[in-house]
């Protein structure tokens, strides 16, 4: 960590004046260095060919450090993955900080290192950025926005309107890891686990699947906020088809399942990072699964359900016992129960 | 998760279901007391597996649902006082009061915090000596010991800025209120396993005897519930009315004596208004005289007008087992989780919420409720 003038971020660091200049010059630019960022212009001037995907997301997570990662890694991986779900490889990212006055410089640096490492890992360049500081109490340590541009793979054809009855629903790994890792740290939840967030870049995993299976991949989505249930409901509503999940097939870590039981949460609604759901043609489903399982990001992948013409607009869960239940949209926040 | 999976074993479930079909000769109506049991029945699709002659009706054992509008109003009023941190279990937040819910109060600036244990609230009080911390102590006998313990801790440690808004309700008086209702059709009860873990079974023998009704203390997992139903139906078919214990892995006949002593130390039994049902004598706990310094009602001189229940909500009939959620004309139309008329639609243990979220009916068959 380079030496900074201050131990904490002050209002002056967002003023655009000398302190902002020093903050950037004394480390930030060096850390995130690339040709485009080094231009230090008002915006990055880029060259792109062919169809591109463009996505943005804001990261307001608390706590900002959690088992398995920090808000910086999340901010890079999240947008890289959103682009991957379009069948695109992320190339350029913008990076905007809204920092609360008093945020420690040491923690800021750790977040920056998280950003740098995640960007390197996913092969994306941070080409433009912005830093604002808000008064103490007007933020929560640090908020990050990233927007990204990626080149869409020529073989990709990802759109919900391509989903048909008979298609298979594939989940790339264990459900609910990230949400439970975060929750285990929140105030008042004193339970000890070694559950870690699954935040990771998925772009290379997706790229190789798209390369192999092309148009047979109908739809991709990372079930972050709202969890798997929300993604399925959106699709059921848009496509007027039934989405049937099999409880027994859904990969779930034993500790996560236990934590969900204890906290009264349904893992289907818990947030994920580094996880994706794919809807693919039935004829390639097994090959797709086999290939995905040979990738480090897909070792626990499973076919968890299928799309049906029956029950249009509904998401159903077939329980281990054999009964069915409707899986609806989450209403508001998932709130912990009394007993 | 081994401690749970064996109680969700599909083979065992089907074994019990087959046995139930074999022994059931007459029509029986059973009430499961606890909302947790209701959710398990509906969520796991167990209702579809039962013989047609067996009807399950859903009891009043959802603490969130039976908390009266006036008590919610008290909690909202407290939350809106300057300098107060109101702490609550999560699922109380969405329950509508006469004007607003705690969630709405929070959205416009009240300091409302969701906790898993009242002892955390004592900790918050210790760390914030310049604030008043109130815990919204809701629940049946199950949550009463921990809530009582929080008061004892605060008192022992001299944490005077901690108080509780008690709205505890008791199971046996509610069972009697239901059985005394002229419209009652219940043949047997599945008593709530968690409540009996604390209180034991002794309170139920006089009820079973007086009303000639079988009572089976039952757990919450699919295997528990089916075994409980099977035990009750066996009794009914034989004309018995015993108190039996299906949930023996958790419930002792005498209950948890230490927990009972803790309750008795802090609380006294009083009359309580149940949402949709009305006042039931001697059916709740209030903080007793000895600990009145930690009673939020006394500390804050709460004096707010009595609020009427929403007339369109039939939660009383639902919790007495007289009606099913789908028999309510407002179910899923005027009353939905995002804009509830009553608590059963928003509580995680509410019967209406269970039917709204989980109940699946195949397209081809009509309503079976």
Q: What is the pLDDT of residues A235-265, one digit of tens each?
A: 999 999 999 999 999 999 988 988 888 777 8
**HSE-CB of A47 using CA atoms within 13 angstroms:** 1
Q: Does A336 touch chain B (CB under 8 A)?
A: yes
* Residue in the block written with tokens 């390639």: A284
| CA dist., res. B125 & res. B159, Å (int) | 7
**Phi and psi torsions of A184, nearest 5°:** -65, -15
Closest-approach residue (CA) in chain B for A329: B357
Residue pair B309/B270 in contact by the 8 Å Cβ criterion: no
Q: Does A17 touch chain B (CB under 8 A)?
A: no
Confidence of residue A100 (pLDDT cuts 50, 70, 90): very high
How high is the pLDDT of residue B363? Answer: 45
**pLDDT > 90: what percent of chain B?**
70
| CA dist., res. A184 & res. A189, Å (int) | 6
- Pairwise pLDDT comparison (B266 vs A15), residue with the higher score: B266
How high is the pLDDT of residue B361? Answer: 62
- Pairwise pLDDT comparison (A227 vs A332), residue with the higher score: A227
Query: Cβ–Cβ of A326/B358 closer than 8 Å?
Result: yes
Helix (H, G, I), strand (E, B) or coil at A50: coil
Please give the structure tokens belonging to residue B299: 């500390």
* Number of Cβ within a 10 Å radius of residue B120: 18
How high is the pLDDT of residue B369? Answer: 33
Query: Cβ–Cβ of B42/A325 closer than 8 Å?
Result: yes
Number of A/B CB contacts below 8 angstroms equals 103
* Among B10, B94, B358, beta carbon nearest to A335: B94
How high is the pLDDT of residue A332? Answer: 67
Helix (H, G, I), strand (E, B) or coil at B349: coil
* Number of Cβ within a 10 Å radius of residue A313: 14
How high is the pLDDT of residue A338? Answer: 55
Contacts of A338 in chain B (CB under 8 A): 63-64, 89-92, 138-139, 143, 348-349
All structural domains of chain A with their residue ranges: 11-152, 160-326
Q: Is the pLDDT of residue B106 over 90?
A: yes
How high is the pLDDT of residue B347? Answer: 83
Query: Cβ–Cβ of A336/B114 closer than 8 Å?
Result: yes
Query: Cβ–Cβ of B89/A336 closer than 8 Å?
Result: yes
How high is the pLDDT of residue A191? Answer: 65
Contacts of A322 in chain B (CB under 8 A): 10, 45, 49
pLDDT tens per residue across span B48-92? 899 999 999 998 888 888 999 999 999 999 999 999 999 999 889
**pLDDT > 70: what percent of chain B?**
96
Mean pLDDT value of segment B256-266: 97
Beta bridge partners of A147: A56, A94
pLDDT tens per residue across span A1-56? 777 778 899 998 888 888 888 888 777 777 888 888 878 788 888 888 899 999 99
Contacts of A256 in chain B (CB under 8 A): none
How high is the pLDDT of residue B101? Answer: 93
Q: Is the pLDDT of residue B352 over 50?
A: yes
Mean pLDDT value of segment B322-344: 89
pLDDT tens per residue across span A101-113? 999 999 999 999 9
Buried b (16+ CB within 10 A) or exposed e, A218-236: bbbbbbbebbbbbbbbbbb
| CA dist., res. B217 & res. B212, Å (int) | 16
How high is the pLDDT of residue A337? Answer: 60
Q: Does A63 touch chain B (CB under 8 A)?
A: no
Confidence of residue B122 (pLDDT cuts 50, 70, 90): very high
Q: Is the pLDDT of residue B368 over 60?
A: no
* Distance between B150 CA and the closest CA of chain A, angstroms: 15
Query: Cβ–Cβ of A338/B91 closer than 8 Å?
Result: yes
How high is the pLDDT of residue A6? Answer: 82
* Distance between A339 CA and the closest CA of chain B, angstroms: 7
* Among A261, A336, A338, beta carbon nearest to B64: A338
Q: Cite the DSSP H helix spans in chain A.
A: 18-23, 29-32, 35-38, 71-84, 105-122, 177-183, 203-213, 227-239, 254-263, 285-293
Contacts of B356 in chain A (CB under 8 A): 328
Beta bridge partners of B166: B137
pLDDT tens per residue across span A118-134? 999 999 999 999 999 99
Best B357, B359, B362 residue to mutate vs chain A (most A CBs within 10 Å): B357
* Among B1, B91, B357, beta carbon nearest to A254: B1
Beta bridge partners of A130: A96
Q: Does A137 touch chain B (CB under 8 A)?
A: no
| CA dist., res. A244 & res. A317, Å (int) | 6
* Among B10, B92, B357, beta carbon nearest to A328: B357
pLDDT tens per residue across span B155-198? 999 999 999 999 999 999 999 999 998 889 999 999 999 999 99
Q: Whose CA is closest to A202, among A309, A277, A105, A127?
A: A277
Q: Is the pLDDT of residue A170 over 60?
A: yes
pLDDT tens per residue across span A182-236? 887 765 566 667 788 888 999 999 999 999 999 999 999 999 888 999 999 999 9
| CA dist., res. B354 & res. A113, Å (int) | 46
Contacts of A332 in chain B (CB under 8 A): 94, 103, 337-338
* Among A311, A322, A328, beta carbon nearest to B363: A311
* Among A310, A323, A335, beta carbon nearest to B114: A335
* Distance between A330 CA and the closest CA of chain B, angstroms: 9
Averaged pLDDT score across all residues of chain A: 90
Contacts of B44 in chain A (CB under 8 A): 319, 321, 323, 325
Closest-approach residue (CA) in chain A for B13: A321
How high is the pLDDT of residue B367? Answer: 33
A269 membership: H or E segment, kind and range? none
The verdict on whether omega for the bond into residue A63 sits within 30 degrees of 0, i.e. cis, is yes
**HSE-CB of A12 using CA atoms within 13 angstroms:** 8
This prediction's pTM: 0.81
- The dihedral built from the CA positions of residue B229, B234, B239 and B243, taken in this order, carries a sign that is negative
Q: Cite the DSSP H helix spans in B161-250.
A: 171-180, 193-199, 204-211, 222-238
Fold of A160-326: Phosphoribosyl-aminoimidazole Synthetase; Chain A, domain 2 (3.90.650)
Interface of A with B in 281-320 (CB under 8 A): 310-311, 314, 316, 319-320
Best B141, B348, B355, B359 residue to mutate vs chain A (most A CBs within 10 Å): B348
**Contact partners, residue A310, CB within 8 Å, separation at least 6:** A242, B363
| CA dist., res. A187 & res. A270, Å (int) | 18
Superfamily of domain A11-152, CATH level 4: PurM-like, N-terminal domain (3.30.1330.10)
Q: Is the pLDDT of residue A333 over 80?
A: no
* Among B45, B89, B94, beta carbon nearest to A332: B94
Residue pair A121/A87 in contact by the 8 Å Cβ criterion: no
Residue pair B358/B337 in contact by the 8 Å Cβ criterion: no
- The dihedral built from the CA positions of residue A104, A106, A108 and A111, taken in this order, carries a sign that is negative
How high is the pLDDT of residue A335? Answer: 63
Q: What DSSP state is assigned to residue B74?
A: H
Query: Cβ–Cβ of B45/A189 closer than 8 Å?
Result: no
Q: Is the pLDDT of residue A320 over 90?
A: no
pLDDT tens per residue across span A284-308? 999 999 999 999 999 999 999 999 9
**Contact partners, residue A170, CB within 8 Å, separation at least 6:** A277, A278, A279, A280, A285, A288, A289, A292, A301, A302, A303, A304
Closest-approach residue (CA) in chain A for B63: A338
Q: Does A254 touch chain B (CB under 8 A)?
A: yes
| CA dist., res. B242 & res. B232, Å (int) | 9
Contacts of A316 in chain B (CB under 8 A): 360
Contacts of B116 in chain A (CB under 8 A): 188-189, 263, 336
* Among A254, A264, A325, beta carbon nearest to B348: A264
> How wide is the angle at C-alpha B141 spanned by C-alphas B138 and B147, nearest 5°?
50
Closest-approach residue (CA) in chain A for B118: A188
């Amino acid at each position: 960590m380079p030496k900074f003038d201050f131990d904490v971020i002050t209002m002056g660091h967002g003023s655009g004046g000398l302190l902002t200049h020093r903050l950037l010059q004394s480390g930030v630019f060096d850390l995130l260095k690339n040709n485009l960022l080094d231009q230090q212009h008002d915006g990055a001037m880029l060259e792109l060919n062919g169809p591109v995907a463009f996505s943005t997301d804001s990261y307001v997570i608390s706590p900002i450090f959690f088992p398995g990662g920090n808000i910086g890694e999340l901010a890079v991986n999240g947008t890289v993955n959103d682009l991957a779900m379009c069948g695109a490889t992320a190339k350029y990212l913008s990076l905007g900080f809204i920092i609360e006055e008093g945020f420690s410089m040491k923690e800021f640096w750790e977040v920056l290192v998280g950003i740098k490492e995640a960007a390197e890992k996913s092969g994306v360049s941070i080409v433009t950025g912005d830093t604002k500081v808000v008064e103490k109490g007007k933020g929560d340590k640090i908020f990050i926005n990233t927007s990204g541009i990626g080149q869409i793979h020529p073989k990709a054809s990802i759109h919900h309107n391509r989903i048909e009855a008979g298609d298979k629903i594939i989940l790339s790994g264990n459900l609910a890891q990230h949400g439970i890792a975060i929750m285990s740290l929140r105030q008042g939840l004193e339970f000890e686990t070694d559950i870690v967030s699954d935040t990771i870049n998925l772009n290379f995993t997706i790229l190789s699947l798209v390369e192999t299976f092309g148009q047979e991949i109908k739809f991709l989505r990372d079930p972050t906020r709202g969890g798997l249930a929300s993604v399925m409901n959106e699709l059921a509503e848009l496509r007027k088809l039934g989405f049937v999940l099999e409880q027994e097939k859904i990969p779930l870590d034993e500790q996560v399942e236990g934590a969900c039981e204890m906290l009264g949460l349904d893992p289907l609604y818990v947030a994920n990072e580094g996880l994706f759901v794919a809807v693919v043609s039935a004829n390639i489903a097994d090959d797709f699964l086999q290939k995905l399982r040979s990738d480090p990001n897909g070792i626990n992948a499973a076919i968890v359900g299928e799309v049906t013409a029956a029950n249009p607009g509904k998401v159903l869960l077939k329980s281990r016992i054999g009964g069915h239940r409707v899986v609806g949209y989450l209403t508001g926040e998932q709130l912990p129960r009394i007993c | 998760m081994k401690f749970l999976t064996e109680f969700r074993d599909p083979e065992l479930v089907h074994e019990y279901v087959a046995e139930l079909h074999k022994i059931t000769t007459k029509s029986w109506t059973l009430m499961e007391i606890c909302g947790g049991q209701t959710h398990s029945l509906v969520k796991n699709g167990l209702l579809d597996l039962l013989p047609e002659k067996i009807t399950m009706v859903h009891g009043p054992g959802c603490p969130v649902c039976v908390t009266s509008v006036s008590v919610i109003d008290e909690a909202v009023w407290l939350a809106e006082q300057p300098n107060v941190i109101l702490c609550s279990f999560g699922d109380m937040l969405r329950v509508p009061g006469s004007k607003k819910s705690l969630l709405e109060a929070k959205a416009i600036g009240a300091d409302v915090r969701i906790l898993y244990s009242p002892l955390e609230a004592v900790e918050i009080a210790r760390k914030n000596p310049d604030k008043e911390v109130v815990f919204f102590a809701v629940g049946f006998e199950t949550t009463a010991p921990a809530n009582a313990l929080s008061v004892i801790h605060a008192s022992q440690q001299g944490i005077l800025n901690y108080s509780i808004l008690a709205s505890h309700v008791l199971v046996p008086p509610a069972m009697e209120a239901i059985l005394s209702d002229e419209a009652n059709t219940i043949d047997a009860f599945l008593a709530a396993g968690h409540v009996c873990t604390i209180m034991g079974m002794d309170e139920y023998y006089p009820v079973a005897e007086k009303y000639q009704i079988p009572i089976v203390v039952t757990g919450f997992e699919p295997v528990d519930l089916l075994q409980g139903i099977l035990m009750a139906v066996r009794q009914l078919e034989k004309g018995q009315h015993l108190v039996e214990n299906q949930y023996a892995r958790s419930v002792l006949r005498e209950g948890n004596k230490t927990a009972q002593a803790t309750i008795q130390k802090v609380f006294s039994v009083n009359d309580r208004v149940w949402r949709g049902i009305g006042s039931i004598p001697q059916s709740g706990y209030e903080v007793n005289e000895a600990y009145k310094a930690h009673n939020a009602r006394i500390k804050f001189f709460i004096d707010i007008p009595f609020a009427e229940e929403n007339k369109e909500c039939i939660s009383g009939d639902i919790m007495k087992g007289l009606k099913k959620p789908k028999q309510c004309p407002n179910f899923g139309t005027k009353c939905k989780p995002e804009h509830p008329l009553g608590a059963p639609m928003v509580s995680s243990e509410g019967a209406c919420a269970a039917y709204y979220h989980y109940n699946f009916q195949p397209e081809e068959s009509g309503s079976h409720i």
